[in-house]
Amino acid sequence: MEEIVHIMLDHPKVILIADARGRRTRTHHPNVEDEAFCVGAACIIPYPALFSAVNHSGESATTIASRYDVSLDYVTYRVKRAGLARVYAKRQRGG
């Protein structure tokens, strides 16, 4: 999904650069990569469904990860970037 976001948002293409010794490096734009990953994650786990799972159902990250066939780290990232970390922690404590 991240690669599709790069295309849709017309992000700059990676440029391969060879130095005098023939070693290759590539350009890297951390903000562009972060944007693409964040938007891609939102496409895979949309906010309304995530909010419902976290706030109303009190589901664990493991349950959400299983539903969307993604990693636990991916769900944790999505919860944090969606601004639901405190709600998630509270619901997991039983609050």
pLDDT higher for 45 or 95? 45
Structural domain total, the chain: 1
Average pLDDT across the chain, whole number: 94
For residue 79, give its domain range. 2-92
Q: What is the mean pLDDT of residues 51-76?
A: 96
pLDDT at 89: 94
Q: Is the per-residue pLDDT at 77 higher than 90?
A: yes
Rounded Cα gap, residues 39 and 2, in angstroms: 7
16 Rama sector, left if φ>0, alpha if ψ -120 to 50, beta otherwise: beta
pLDDT at 95: 66
